[in-house]
Structure 1
Amino acid sequence: MPSAITLIRSTSLSDVAQYAYAATAPSGSRLIFLAGACPLNEDGSTAAIGDYAGQAAKAIENMQAALTASGASLQDVISTRVLVASARQEDLAAAWKIVRDSFGEHDVPSTLMGVTVLGYADQLVEIEAIAAVLDS
């Protein structure tokens, strides 16, 4: 299936960011709005308690399952918002490294935010995403 995503980079903006600054989906593409992917195991328990990187990895795994159920993949994601329950930049960086590495060359526009608390007991990371696909 051809990709519906076009990542946009601007030479007038800093290249220090590890992601594209914008993305587009063509007219006629199907947008998929994912709920925040949480680091939950199948039994509803929180995975990797106390581990920002471990929770980011589990959230990505769960996001991939939701994308697959929607007929999409990580390569179809058009933007993300990564929420990390911490005020420490190193905790945000630990979660971000996992997210960034998971997307590889598909460096979607992203926002990384430190937040006070997330919805589940012991939850440290949540990842929201929007994807776009061209149905054949």
Structure 2
Amino acid sequence: MNEAEVTAGLAATPQYQYAQRIGDQLFVAGQVPHDAVGNIVAHGDPQAQTTQCLLNLRTVLGVHGFTTTDVRRLVVYVVGEQAALSAAWGAVTEFFSGRVPPATLLGVARLGYDGQLVEVDATVLKTTQGDA
């Protein structure tokens, strides 16, 4: 189901698709802080987990012919107190070199995997020349 993503270095996900392209839009599953074999990275470190999520997102984008400049909206889900949200946001701003697309930062009670503190969701759309 996700052969191209696995070939690009992401973990196998037999239960769901990483993304599906329809025309100029890419529908992306929330990216989690998995390494190439599916382990959660950086337990207890929301900043490092956010960076891993964003690196995974960039890989998914590339597999489907998109780049981070095609990201039109981010939602960053973070487990923890204000310090965890701030750490995650720091990773987002660093990753996008201070040019973050419209984004929402949300504190949540828990996420899908044990030890997971962060998940990143994106709305992705290629624009034609003159649309941007």
Mapped to 2, the partners of 1:47 and 1:65 lie a distance apart of 16
* 1:30 alignment partner in structure 2: 24
Alignment of 1:96-135 (within 5 A): 96-134=89-127
* 2:12 alignment partner in structure 1: none
Moved over 3 A (4+): none
* 2:10 alignment partner in structure 1: none
* 2:8 alignment partner in structure 1: none
List gaps (5 residues or longer) in structure 1.
1-28
Normalised by the size of structure 2, how large is the TM-score?
0.76
Q: 1:84 is matched by which residue type in structure 2? A: V
Mapped to 2, the partners of 1:30 and 1:105 lie a distance apart of 25
Measured after TM superposition, the shift of residue 103 of structure 1 is 1.2
Mapped to 2, the partners of 1:35 and 1:126 lie a distance apart of 10
Aligned residues: 107
The CA RMSD over aligned residues, in Å, is 1.7
- Higher relative contact order, structure no. (Cα contacts within 8 Å, ≥ 6 residues apart): 1
* 1:60 alignment partner in structure 2: 54
**Contact 1:30 1:135 survives alignment (8 Å):** no
Q: Render the CA deviation track for 1:50-88: whole Å, top value 9, x for unaligned.
A: 1111101111110011110111111110000000011x1
1:90 to 70, 83, 90: 83
User: What percentage of residue pairs aligned between the two structures are identical?
Assistant: 34
1:73 to 67, 73, 96: 67
Normalised by the size of structure 1, how large is the TM-score?
0.74
**Contact 1:56 1:98 survives alignment (8 Å):** yes
**Contact 2:70 2:127 survives alignment (8 Å):** no
Q: 1:113 is matched by which residue type in structure 2? A: L
Q: 1:115 is matched by which residue type in structure 2? A: V
Which one has the largest radius of gyration? 1
Q: 1:98 to 1:105 in 2, by over 3 A?
A: closer
Secondary structure at 1:39's aligned position in 2?
coil
